[in-house]
Amino acid sequence: MKAIVLEGVNQSVALKEVPTPTPQKGEVQINIKAAALNHRDVWIQKGKYAGLKYPAILGSDGAGVVTQMGEDVDKQLLGKEVIINPGHNWGANPEAQRKEFKILGMPDQGTFAEYICVPSQYVFTKPAHLSFEQAAALPLGGLTAYRTLFTRGALQTGQKVLITGIGGGVALIVLKFCLAVGAKVWVTSGSDSKIEKAISLGAQAGVNYKAEKWHESLQQQAGGFDLIVDSAAGENFPKLIDLAATGGKIAMYGGTQGTIKDIIPGRIFWKQLSILGTTMGNEGEFASMTQLVSTKHIVPVIDKTFPMAEAEQALRRMDNSEQFGKIILQIY
């Protein structure tokens, strides 16, 4: 089969011929039709990820058709259009994943390939209203967004939410989920045109985080936020503490801008703030997420679809923050 292979740190990925995997007991083989990038793929390429192993076939997100099954798998799955839950081995505790938790696409083979084999419990019916490209945009970001907003953030209809860095793949799914449940959303971005696009999707307004005193202008526009969703961290994070409403929550699933400094403790405790860490989610949350997407006919925002052979250009587009939404690979 053809696959996108990464041979080592800071190498370009390349389209190669590799052996096709066959399903083991309890596994299904899926012919991937479309895959999607996550920032994780860029981190792995740069060597900034734990447990790296090369050569690697990256990719956590995929949608396709079940083509073969190992023993002990429901034969009715054959020919079904499916998406894959990329979070494996969460464990029994809904509060946090166990140490065996792993994400599809490192150390195991990922979705940037014509075929993949995964345990059948991670295979879910593709929401009927989504194309393969739209469905491939959903799994990792949708799962992360679901746990962030509903399990950790306990989001309620009518609440005010701030989403930072709205161009991001996860951030835009967070926006779609917020709108679907009737929350009011403000955004930040490093690009004015991305803010305009977010407003056209239903956000109230937004500010450019590169502008001086951006947080003061946001405070004037919106007042305090009930929930702030962030994956940037870094030097702007203390401003989020100022922007949170009294009793509000800040939920974070990433740290793209690095270490957080200069937090004034009193601003957290006197405001009764909750700062919540969150990562992907468990199998129940994945099922609830696909249910929400199907019931509310949510369609993920797609930035651009690349042919499989242009995977390296797709990774560079993400690395340069050029995207607005999910970057898709069309698999042969």
The footprint of ligand NAP (CB under 6 A) covers 38-40, 43, 140, 144, 164-171, 188-191, 194, 209, 231-232, 234, 236, 253-254, 256-257, 279-280, 318, 321, 323
Instruction: Tell me the closest approach of the beta carbon of residue 184 to ligand NAP, in angstroms.
Output: 19
Nearer to ligand NAP, 118 or 162 (CB): 162
Distance (Å, whole) CA 164 – CA 171: 7
Helices within the chain (DSSP H only)? 39-45, 132-136, 139-146, 169-180, 192-201, 214-222, 237-243, 265-269, 283-295, 311-319
Instruction: Tell me the closest approach of the beta carbon of residue 283 to ligand NAP, in angstroms.
Output: 15
**What are the backbone dihedrals phi and psi of residue 307, each rounded to the nearest 5 degrees, phi first?**
-65, 155
Instruction: Tell me the closest approach of the beta carbon of residue 196 to ligand NAP, in angstroms.
Output: 12
Instruction: Tell me the closest approach of the beta carbon of residue 238 to ligand NAP, in angstroms.
Output: 13
Nearer to ligand NAP, 120 or 151 (CB): 151
Nearer to ligand NAP, 45 or 68 (CB): 45
Instruction: State the burial class of residue 225 (Cβ atoms within 10 Å of its Cβ: 0-12, 13-18, 19+).
Output: buried
**Angle at which helices 192-201 and 169-180 pack, to 10 degrees?**
30
Sequence-distant (6+) residues with CB within 8 A of 92 are none
Instruction: Tell me the closest approach of the beta carbon of residue 280 to ligand NAP, in angstroms.
Output: 4
Nearer to ligand NAP, 38 or 111 (CB): 38
Instruction: Tell me the closest approach of the beta carbon of residue 244 to ligand NAP, in angstroms.
Output: 16
CA–CA distance from 194 to each of 134, 260, 303, 324 (Å)? 20, 25, 11, 7
Nearer to ligand NAP, 69 or 176 (CB): 176
Nearer to ligand NAP, 229 or 245 (CB): 229
212, 239 in Cβ contact below 8 A?
A: no
